[in-house]
Structure formats: C-alpha cells, structure tokens
Structure 1
Amino acid sequence: MDNLGLQRTTRTESAAEACMRHIDESARLQGSRSSPLFSVLDLIKRMRRDPQVGGQFWLIDDRATEQQPDTPVSAWPLWFSKDARADERPMLYLTQSPTSARLSMLTNQTAQRGIFLNDIESSPSRWAKGAHPWLPMWLASNPQCMPYDPACGDEARVILRGALRELYLKGLTGFCYMTLHDEPGDKLECDRSQAYLGMYPLLREAGGTPQVRLLGAGQVLREVQAAAGLLERDWGVASEIWSCPSYTRLARDAAAVQRQKRRQRRSYLQHCLGGSQLPIIAVTGYAEFVAGQLAGHVSAPFTALGADTLQPGQRPDRHWITYLALQSLARQSVIDAGVLGQALQRYNLG
C-alpha cells in the first residue's frame, strides 16, 4: 500500500530516462570486470556530478561509515514533503541491512518503492552472504520485491537500468533489491538484453558428451565456472554455463505462465532451457531453496546447491558442484557410479 501517496508524473518518466541514458553511456567506460558494489557506487557518484542527471533522482544512504553529508540517511523526509510526494523521482537506497526485519522497515518507509542496494555481502558475518537466513526467504516470498544477485558490475548496471524502466517508465508497483559484493567479475561477458530477465548463457553450445547444465548466481558463479573446468579436465564432461541473477524472477514468471495456462507463450525459463533432459545443477550462495524455486518448472533432472545443503563447515564450492554434476549423471546411468568414489577422494570431500 502506498501510504505516502506518491504521484508518478511525466517528470518521473523523464528523470528515469535521464538516469538510463547515463547508465548506457557509462557502460562504455566501465568493464565487466568491475565488482557490482564498485560499479554501482561509481555510477551513482558520476550521476550526481552530471548536470543532466544530478537532482533527477532521490538518493538515500543509511550506511554509517559511507554516507555523504548532503545525503538523507532515511526516507522520512518524504513523509513531510508534499511537493516531493506529488512528483515521484527514481529512488536509490544504499543500505547495509542484514535482516528481513530491518529491510521491511526501510521498504515500508518508502511505500515499498525504489531500488534497494545492499552491500552486506562484503562485511564479516556468520551468515551466508552476510544475510540472516530469513532475509532471502522474505525477499523471495514478498510479491512487491524483485530480488537480484548480480555476479559482476555489468550485470548490476543492467539490472539497475531494467528496474528504472519497469518502476518509473512502465509504472509497475513494488521495489527492486540487489545484493552487492565487492569481488571483480573476472571475464564475465554480460548479455545486456537478457540479464534483467533472470538468466543468460555464458557457455551454451557445449561440445562433447556427456553434458550437464550449470547455473549460478552472484559471487558463487565463479565457482560454477571453475567446476565446468574440472568436469572437462578430470572427467571428460562438457558443461553449459548460465548466469542467473534472479532465480526468483524466473520462478515467478514460470508460475504465472502455469497459472494462466497461456499456451501462446512459454516462460522465459522454458525459453532458455527448453525440453532438454540434460541434468541441471543450480547453485546459490544463499540457502538451497532460492535456487530450488526452479525445481517445479523444469522437466530435466534437477539439483539445487546452497549454503545450507552441505554439512557445517562445507560450502558450495567448485568441488562439490563437480561432484553433484557427476552424481546426477550417474543417476541417469550416463556415467559409471564408481566415478563418484573417485571424485570424493580426488577432491577430499569425505
């Protein structure tokens, strides 16, 4: 519910267009190797300095050690500004919020509008990706939220642009959420036409046989890529590799198509994966259920791997991804089951 009474106007749209143009221009200056956190912060800094864009968007920064002197630290000023509420502008909200309770409070302050940029992942924490376990559950179950986990700076910029288009040009309800890590996206070639839709191929035409499909999101995507190398080098298994910035968007779109029984169109997930029976290993740095949202929407053998899948002290790294891919092939009798014992020993996974 919009308890602020925000009014979208033509100036809202023109402001969003100005921000989007700046993002397009900046894409030529920043490479895909930049981290999501660096890319977003650098982009915001450049936008504020650009006379054509600065002042066209609302910026809130509640990070205790990073905030700028002239930047609000909460959305409360909007409640008392009739002029601001009557002329909504794109809102970028920088935060360090590890819990669903805090993020819920912040989004309620903004009438569940805006683009929330959370850089908790780079902070020391006992929780996976710096997030309390309830946070990803809240993100995935909140129909007003579209959550993303970008792997590189290019993905973060594409997602930011897509959110500006959907929220402030098309006028869709809700808010966008991104978690931002500070590790460079080594050699990731982002598909700028598909990343915002939830997934795109990094390596699609895998040669050789047997084959698997490896899906990864965020920082763990580098482990997925490394696992593809191990599978080929050690076991002669070829891999398709897909970056999945939003498992939740993919699952929601697939569920919507199912509910509506719209035979004239396939979900984007079906468009990408089709009817192939190649085993799928979907990996996330969050709890397993985040990637597991796809399970009911694919017909191929499916395995989800997350921070809570393994035993305490173990994490979803390249060796476990490799083992689970081999296990899936063995279950289909594509490879000999004896390979699994060899893999456990080779990678010291016992």
Structure 2
Amino acid sequence: MLSFESAGRGILCNDAETRPSIWCKGVQPALPLWLASHPDCTPYDPASADEARAILRSALQALYVDHQAGFYYLATHDDTCVDTGPLHRADAQGAIKGMYRLRFTPEVSTVSTASTNGNRKTPPQIRLCGAGKALQRVLHAARLLSQDWGIAAEVWSCPSYTRLAREGRAAARWNMLHPQSRPRRPHIARCLGDSTAPVIAVTGYAQHIAEQIAPFAPGRFVALGATPQRGTAYADFPGAPWITLIALKALVDEGALSAQTLEAALRTYALT
C-alpha cells in the first residue's frame, strides 16, 4: 500500500522482526523474497546506527535530489546490533554499495599457529560476512575461530546482499554484451578480490537472501540463514558456535584442516 500511495518512491524504515514470529510485529516469510525480487526496491539490513545513517543519506540524495525512481527498505532493530565504531568515508560508501570490511581483526593464538617443530606457520584464512543482527554472531564466531582454533577470520559487514548480487549480475551482462571493452568489476569482486579463501555469508533472513552472492565468490561459498522451527511460528539463524563449525567444515573441505578438527569442535561446543 505504501509503495502504491507514494507512486513507488520513498524510504520505508521497518522495525518489525525480520524473522517469522507468533507476534503481530513479525514479518511474513514472503516479504524478504518480495523485496529481493522487486526491481524498484533496494533493501538493506544495517547492523549499526552509522550504517543506517549512511544509507539514509544516500537514499535521500538518490530519490529527492537526483530524482531516481524506486524505493528503499531498511530493516531497523530495537536493540543495538553491533558497535562497529564510526564509519570512515570509504566504509560508508562500501555500506551503501552493500559491503565493507570491518577493522575488527582477531588476534590469532600463537599456540594454535605453532607447528610441531616450534616454528610459526601461516594460519588458515576465511572470510565471514554478516548483515543486521546476524553480524554480532559473526563477530563472535570470528573470535572463537581465533581463540580456539588459530584461524584468521576476515569479517565483512554486508548491509545488502541483494544490491551486491544485482550489481554483479548487471556487470556480468554488460561484459557479455561488450566482449571487446574493458570488463566491469562489481563492488563484491573488488572487495573479495582473487583470494580463494572460503566465504561464509550469514543473514537473519532466509538462507536464499545470502545465497544471492554465491556466483561472485571466487572460492568455496556457504550461506547461512534463518530456518523455521518445526511445529512453531519461530525461525532462528545459527549461533556463533554453529557458524564456527561451518567455517571449520569449509576449511576441512579445502584441505586446510584435518577432519579431526570437526570432531573436536563438535565436542568443544556440545553440538553433537
């Protein structure tokens, strides 16, 4: 109704829960799919007030100064999701485009990264992406990977998987239609680069929202999202221990870790 009344232009900030709930404020499961597939909508799930502020400023500029068509949807949250600190200009631009790297860099345990002969060795690396409230659990998982397993995790905040995927598809189409021109490189490709380190993308929405960026990840990719609980109206996304386990599994599949690591993780976090 809001989209119709505003002639398809505007900014909707919705503080409803992003997961199905028994309460009336819960978002219907079909809403995220509709938002991601609506060509006139640019949906965001910011994880902090600074991210939301940067996105709002960009939306106001695009809609009411540059007179672009379409509307923006922001999932806002009643509680503080994560304190990412003040956004620098480059990070704010990255948030608007869909992702930026956090300055949080976990310290890798010297015990975990030491080889049997006493020499230091380079720890396995992995990229963790999170949006909205899920980013807090991603940061917790990064700390667990560092402290418990000696694995360096690069953490990215991804306020809009949908915008990243759309730009990626648009660039791929342009490159196909202009084979003799310099290829366009979307924002996600510039962020992830050519590294083949596994990418774990987590969202508070259904899993398919994060899966949108799978074609643009250069290495192994795993998407995690909210899963409805059988027999209830609730849905929840994985906690930090499960995100940690999935990250370890990706590294095992890459041959960077032994299978025994998974067995140890299942016991450590009581996930069996």
TM-score of the pair, normalised by structure 1: 0.66
Contact 1:288 1:309 in 2 (8 A): no
> What stretches of structure 2 of length at least 5 have no aligned partner?
109-121
Identify the match of residue 58 of structure 2 among 139, 152, 162: 162
CA displacement at 1:347 relative to structure 2: 1.2
Count of matched residue positions in the alignment of Structure 1 and Structure 2: 245
What residue number does 1:202 align with? 102
Are 1:306 and 2:212 matched, yes or no?
no
Q: 2:46 aligned to 145, 150, 155, which one?
A: 150
Unaligned runs of 5+ in 1: 1-104
DSSP-derived class of the 2:133 partner: helix
Aligned to 1:114: 10
Whether 1:268 and 2:164 are equivalent positions in the alignment is: no
Deviation >6 Å, runs of 4+: 204-207, 309-314
Q: Which moved more, 1:168-177 or 1:215-224?
A: 168-177
Change (3 A) 1:186 1:142: closer
Contact kept? 2:126, 2:152, Cα under 8 Å = yes
SS at structure 1 position matched to 2:226: coil
Which whole-Å deviations, capped at 9, do the CAs of 1:18-59 have from their partners, x for residues lacking one? xxxxxxxxxxxxxxxxxxxxxxxxxxxxxxxxxxxxxxxxxx
Conservation of the 8 A alpha-carbon contact between 1:310 and 1:316: no
Residue 283 (str. 1) matches residue 202 (str. 2): yes
Instruction: Tell me which residue corresponds to 1:47.
Output: none
1:301-344: CA deviation from partner (whole Å, max 9, x where unpaired): 00000002998876311011100000000001100011112211
Cα distance in 2 for residues equivalent to 1:130 and 1:213: 31
CA contact (8 A) 1:136 1:290 kept: yes
**Same amino acid, percent of matched pairs:** 48
Secondary structure of residue in 2 paired with 1:209: coil
- Residue number in structure 2 paired with 1:21: none
1:181 to 44, 66, 77: 77
Aligned equivalents of 1:285, 1:146: Cα separation in 2? 17
Change (3 A) 1:214 1:112: same
CA separation of 1:310 and 1:229: change in aligned 2, threshold 3 A: farther
- CA RMSD between the two structures: 2.3
Question: Greater Rg, structure 1 or structure 2?
Answer: 1
The CA distance in 2 between the partners of 1:309 and 1:237, in whole Å, is: 31
Does residue 345 (structure 1) correspond to residue 264 (structure 2)? The answer is no
1:125 aligns with 2:21: yes
Is the counterpart of residue 231 in structure 1 residue 145 in structure 2? yes
The whole-number CA distance in structure 2 between the counterparts of 1:319 and 1:229 is 10
TM alignment of 1:1-350, pairs within 5 A = 105-121=1-17, 125-126=21-22, 130-189=26-85, 190=87, 191-203=91-103, 208-261=122-175, 263-308=182-227, 315-350=237-272
